[in-house]
Amino acid sequence: MVNIENLHKKFGKNEVLKGVDLSIKDGGIFAVLGPNGSGKTTLIKSVLGMVIPDQGTINVQGKNIKKNPNYRHQIDYLPQIANFPSNLKVKELIRMIKDLRKITNEDERLIELFKLQPFLDKKLGNLSGGTKQKVNLVLTFMFDSPLIILDEPTTGLDPISLIRLKELIQVEKAKGKTILITSHIMSFVEEVSDEIVFILEGKIYFKGTISELKTKTNQPDFEHAIASILLENHA
């Protein structure tokens, strides 16, 4: 699904990605983790074509993204911060995105799932952060792309919406989709992920299951395993 080879990226003198090699197979939920400044956002944005690497190749579904700009139609992306036009109504934004992408009837099901009906006629600038995130989720999941990238998807969600999100992720996985997630919420990562990819100082430190990580770090639980990596590398 996603194959990355020898990816390098510098911003000025700051080398953010230092020869990343990563292969993500078709189907399954992969959490991309790492401390702030580790390079995970740059890696995700490189896959999306929002950051141009200095060196290396990225293939999505077997095609080099440099030579195949249409690959973005195969990705649904939930950004960490949704910057919506504040004067648009919720229903106007949903209609606009539908017109830009392609026909979907999934928006009605998702509006019901996240209980957004009372907000459809409200302007986006007047919504709470949590309600904006639900709109963000509707826009992401209402299309049927094989690759879904979710950047901090739990931000601002109430407990019921969080349960709905987890169910939605599992439904998409059952369709054979590949889902990449970044999150700081370790309990969420542990619950939904098949594998984790841990990035440290611009390189892949670990890729595998949570149980494999616990074995590697000799820790009893996931949070302690992550903490031990961070402590070891700041010693």
Reading the chain (235 residues) residue by residue, the pLDDT tens digits are: 899 999 999 999 999 999 999 999 889 999 999 988 889 999 999 999 999 999 999 999 888 998 888 888 889 999 988 788 899 999 999 999 888 877 676 889 999 999 999 999 999 999 999 999 999 999 999 988 999 999 999 999 999 999 999 999 999 999 999 999 999 899 999 999 999 999 999 999 999 999 999 999 999 999 999 999 888 877 5
- Reported pTM: 0.93
Residue whose C-alpha is closest to residue 139's, from 79, 211, 189, 199: 79
Using CA of residue 137, residue 141, residue 143, residue 148, what is the dihedral sign?
positive
Question: Residues, the chain, total?
Answer: 235
Number of domains observed in the structure of the chain: 1
Q: β-strand 55-60 against 28-33: which pairing, if any? A: unpaired
Residues of the domain holding 24: 2-232
How far, rounded to the nearest angstrom, does the alpha carbon of residue 20 sit from its chain's CA centroid? Answer: 18
User: What is the reported pLDDT for 118?
Assistant: 96
Domain harbouring 224, CATH code: 3.40.50.300
Phi and psi (nearest 5°) for 109? -65, -40
Helix axis angle for 106-113 and 129-141, nearest 10°, is: 150
What does each C-alpha distance from 115 to 64, 89, 119, 173 come to in angstroms? 40, 16, 9, 23
Q: What is the dihedral of CA 214, 218, 219, 220, to 10 degrees?
A: 80
User: What is the reported pLDDT for 124?
Assistant: 94
User: What is the reported pLDDT for 90?
Assistant: 95
